[in-house]
Structure 1
Amino acid sequence: MATVARPRSIISVGSAKTGEATRRELYFFNLFRVLQACIYTGLAFSPLAVTWIDLRFPLLGQVNALLFLAFATILFLRTSQMLRHVTGMVSLALVCDIVATVLAIASINEPQSGIAILLMFNIGAGALLLPPRIAGMLAVFGAAALVLGVNIVRYYDAHYEIGPLESLLFGTAYLASYGMFTVLGRQMRATEALAEQRGTDLANLSQVNDMIIRRMKTGVLVVDDANRIHQINESAWMLIGSPKPDLRDLGTVAPELSRRLYHWRTTGKTENRAVALAEDVPEVLPRFTRLSPNETTNVLIFLDDTSLVSRRAEELTLSSLGRLSASIAHEIRNPLAAISYSAQLLAESEDLVDADKRMVEIINNHCARANDVVENILQLSRRERSRPELVDVNAWVNNFVEEYKASNDLGMDLLRAVTQPRLIDGLFDPQQLQQVVWNLVQNAIRYGRLPGEPARVAVVARMIGEKGPPVVEVVDRGPGIPPKVAAQIFEPFFTTHEYGTGLGLYLARQLCEANQAALEYVPVAGGGSCFRITLVTQIAAPAGRA
């Protein structure tokens, strides 16, 4: 749903920004490294302020701390650039962390255990950011570097605080930290992916709901207690007269609807009388409801187009009449067959005078006409679902003309096919297209002729313009159809011929519409008639008309 402006298009749903979670983790990892470097620097330069911290190798400790602080600061400032090469940059940083930590442990006398513990967080963070194999190799490297560094220091100082066993325990703790953070990272990634997928699904569902509401034939508005329109779909926007985008006050946009809303709010009753909310728009029947039982501010307004309700009722009525007509046609068929058969037997009698023979002929003619009506009604009621497929229109027209000539004695009448040298494809159910064109050709041969002259009928396959839709036309050179009659020829049971049923063209148009094609009558300059079938090249979705 949109605001009062003409409804906007749906905003596409996207996922979270690529690397956002990694960027956040890198940021905190680099921030921890800066704090870690500050601790190393403070310890390395602590003899300048206090006397209880002793350095074994002062120059090594101070140079190591300053370089590590500079390195950590640069990484922190370039966190966003690290996203381009996350694995390589994090691996390099973790190697530097291990080296700097081992050198700090070797150069500082007192808090060696605390410094060794800090490295556990670096290895754990690496396990979160790096592939498990690389993170595991770096954890092994950290444990080995610590054990080797401690043993080297103890070679020069046997009274060094961290012993071989303790260094092995720290190394084991590094490996355990790697394993724990690897499992934790896997679970975090899975949870994050699931949350992101759920968020995307929720956004897509919201988009689908928005699209459904926008495409609803029923108008939908959301109005607050200040009588301002918050949201409105396309149907409601048109039913209230297509107001300007800056008009959001319901009293200004649709005074009558505002009055009915006030009446509903004060009395709780809805007026059951249709009203047109603007000029040249259909009448609507407003309905009001709260968004939820606890909602007291916003009101949901439905505008039911009465013309749609009438059309639905008419469609239901026609459907019921169609089923009733089919039932009646079945009941008529049996006595009609008996009458026709009795008339044929009577016609074989040798005692009939000419007047009686004429009466029998009339009976037979009207029985045939009634049977045609019954057949057309039954055809309408049991019409199969269309199965459109791609048809080579040129080849189809040539085959149809040859088949029609082989099945019907044309005598002096002329039927020809007119095709194009280029490929013309269209979608239509071949059997139903055969039925439609057969009916049109029969009508053209029967009625599309000048008095005393043979019929001249052409079945044409062509395209309208260079890139227009494909069409099949049945053209005759007869007297044409008067405009008043042409406006009614597709109506059911309309006929100008004494023995016509008035259902042939109606049934032909119904079959065309079932294939999303169009059948229309086009006058021919200089005399004659043209019935044009405009085919589609792809089947569009039947729903979704705004």
Structure 2
Amino acid sequence: MSNLTEQQQIDSHRPRILRLYNLYRVILGFGLTLLTNAVLRDGLLELSNPAIYEKASWIYLFINVLIALLLHRGRRDLHVFLVTLVDIGLLGVIFFAAGGVGSGFGNLLIIPVAIGNILLHGRIGLLLPALASIGLIYLTFFLSLTHPYVGQSYLQVGVLGCIYFAVALFVQRFSRRLYLSESLAQQQAASLASLEQLNQLIIQRMRTGIIVVGPDNRIITGNEASAQMLARPIQPGPALDKLVPELDQRLQQWRRNPSTRSTSFHSHSGSAEILANFKPLGGSGDKTILIFLDDNTQVAQQAQQLKLASLGRLTASIAHEIRNPLGAISHAAQLLNESDQLCKQDVRLTEIIQQHSQRMNRVIETVLELSRRRPSEPQLVDLALWTSSFLTDFRAANPPTDIIECEIEKEGILTRIDPNQMTQVLNNLCQNALRYSGSAGSERTIYLKLYEDGISQLPTLEVIDYGPGVADEHVGHIFEPFYTTEASGTGLGLYISRELSESNQARLEYEAATPTGSCMRITFAHPKRLV
């Protein structure tokens, strides 16, 4: 450790050590002044010079009180050295007045020497025991001039001086190691705090939602991704069954049988499909549970890519095998229809052949288009401007009898999509809505509504028609490929629309409109979410 770091450690502890040292000196001063009373020291202490002892004790008490009041915040080494030096000098005078080494007052100098070496390292610290030892030797010499028996105490004074140096060296080494240990502990604490802050930042920025639930089924903490997935703030304290009942059900199932795979769920209508995984946070005795929330949309998107790749290989292999014979059949039926020798029944049969040949050709073209579809190229899009631009083009391409009403909640509703792919989806939904609203040429009206969902705060676009709606037995199948209720339909329109929506991390859902009609709802991803 550098000297600067060590000095900073000393400076940080100096005020507390000085306060304790000043308190000790004031208490010691009061004790010494009490011994100036002859009655109190009778039989306890034999003074060689009571007058000097009394004056030195009162001066010592006065100076200590003054220093405690004025220099209790002293931070400079010079202040500490001078205070310790004054302490050694006055205690030396009291040592002289008390009768020398036999009084035991020489031991009182150990504390100033020790405190000085705690706060003053190096040679300046060793100067204190040197001065204390020299002072006691000279005071013993002067005392021996008037008291001959004191001359036999030089050995004890020398031993006392050695004790001062031993204490100084021990205190310096011990305090230095304490400062090093404390500095290392502070560095480790700072590193742990930094790592904890880094971990918190990483957890908060993770796209996987994380919730920690305690043994009492109350939420301890949760990251930002979990709040976005569940479309509600995750605060410590609330019970999980009150905040997210669907997640609590799966947690209880996992607790009963940890080997059971959890099923996905929606936290609210129109939310993403969420898959929860559970893991105990501690050992077997700790019932704290760590919940991982994953957006199943990404898994569905990967499955969709595999599905499209398989479909592409399949259609590539059968395209030529089907389209060439189909073209020959259609051409032969057209030539047969031009013959004058056919009766009306045969003409009708040739028309049926051509009609179904064209339908099969449309199915093949649609499947080929789906299998060759390019990857999405998402960009930040203002949905209000995008919807207005789409309506302008759509109205221009349709007859005036097709009326499209539109309600846009506000400007600046943003999301990340591929505008070309989502234009194809919206065009398909609007064409379907017009088709089910009435026959071509009649007055047909559909309704578009763009808004931000009040719960999830996600952009939402609804396409509503006023037709008869979808029968209950067909609702669960309308997004399946090749499923249609029309004789001339291919059954791929809604399927492709949902596939394109999922590739842009949007959700396409059906809901019955009131009192009649159908509502196709597109829930877009958050604008900060990368597709």
Which deviations, in whole Å up to 9, do the C-alpha atoms of 1:134-167 show, x marking residues without a partner? x99xx979979x989x99xx9x9995999xxxx9
Mapped partners of 1:413, 1:496: distance in 2: 25
Q: Which residue among 395, 413, 426 is the counterpart of 1:425?
A: 413
Q: Match for residue 122 of structure 1?
A: 115
C-alpha distance in structure 1 between counterparts of 2:194 and 2:314, whole Å = 56
Residue type at the aligned position of 2:111: L
State the shift of 1:73 in Å: 9.7
Give 1:392's aligned residue: 382
Deviation at 1:471, TM superposition (A): 2.6
Aligned partner of 1:63 in structure 2 is 58
Among 402, 408, 424, the alignment partner of 1:435 is 424
Tell me if 1:444 matches 2:439. Answer: no
Q: Distance in 2 between matches of 1:466 and 1:323?
A: 36
Aligned-pair CA distance for 1:443: 1.9
1:521 counterpart = 2:518: no
How far apart are 1:440 and its partner, in Å? Answer: 0.9
The normalised TM-score by structure 1 is 0.54
Give the corresponding residue for 1:366: 360
Q: Which of the pair has more CA radius of gyration? A: 2
- Structure 1: any 5+ residue segments left out of the alignment? 1-20, 76-81, 128-134, 220-232, 243-253, 261-271, 275-288, 303-312
Structure 2 residue 45 is matched with structure 1 residue 50: yes
Paired residue secondary structure (2:464): strand
Q: Relative to 1, partners in 2 of residues 1:320 and 1:396: Cα closer, same or farther, differing over 3 Å? A: closer
Q: Is 1:508 the equivalent of 2:497?
A: yes
Are the counterparts in 2 of residues 424 and 462 from structure 1 also a CA contact under 8 Å?
A: no
* Matching residue of 1:327: 313
Partners of 2:247 and 2:407 in 1: how far apart?
48
Matching of residue 189 in structure 1 with residue 179 in structure 2: no
Q: CA deviation at 1:34?
A: 4.8
The separation in 2 between residues aligned to 1:70 and 1:42, in whole angstroms, is: 13
* In the alignment, structure 1 residue 339 sits paired with structure 2 residue 325: yes
What percent identity do the matched residue pairs reach? 18
Cα offset for 1:397? 0.5
Equivalent residue letter for 1:396: W
Tell me which residue corresponds to 2:233.
none
Give me the whole-angstrom Cα distance separating, in 2, the residues matched to 1:331 and 1:53. 121
Residues 1:444 and 1:319: Cα distance change in structure 2 (over 3 Å): same
SS of match in other structure, 1:485:
helix
Query: TM-score scaled by structure 2?
Result: 0.55
Q: Post-superposition shift, 1:531?
A: 1.8
Consecutive unaligned residues of structure 2, counting only runs of 5 or more, are: 1-9, 145-153, 155-160, 204-208, 218-239, 262-279, 290-298, 340-346
Q: What do residues 252-304 of structure 1 show as CA deviations (whole Å, max 9, x unaligned)?
A: xx9xx7xx9xxxxxxxxxxx999xxxxxxxxxxxxxx9x99xx9xx699x9xx
Distance 1:501 1:358, change over 3 A: closer
Note the aligned Cα RMSD (angstroms): 6.4
2:125 and 2:13 map into 1 onto residues whose CA distance is 26
CA shift in 2, pair 1:95/1:455, >3 Å: farther
**In 2, Cα distance between the equivalents of 1:480 and 1:375?**
29
Q: Larger RCO: Structure 1 or Structure 2 (Cα < 8 Å, ≥ 6 residues apart)?
A: 1
2:407 maps to 1:414: no
How far apart are residue 395 of structure 1 and its match?
A: 0.8
Mapping for residues 267-306 of structure 1, pairs under 5 Å: none
Conservation of the 8 A alpha-carbon contact between 2:382 and 2:415:
no
Offset at residue 496 of structure 1 (A): 1.0
Flag the 1:452–1:236 CA change in 2: closer, same or farther, 3 A. closer
Matches within 5 A, 1:10-409: 30-31=19-20, 34-35=23-24, 48=41, 49-51=44-46, 57-67=52-62, 99-109=86-96, 110=100, 118-126=111-119, 185=179, 188-195=182-189, 197-198=191-192, 214=212, 238=249, 324-342=310-328, 352-353=338-339, 354=347, 356=350, 359-376=353-370, 378=371, 384=375, 387=378, 390-404=380-394, 409=397
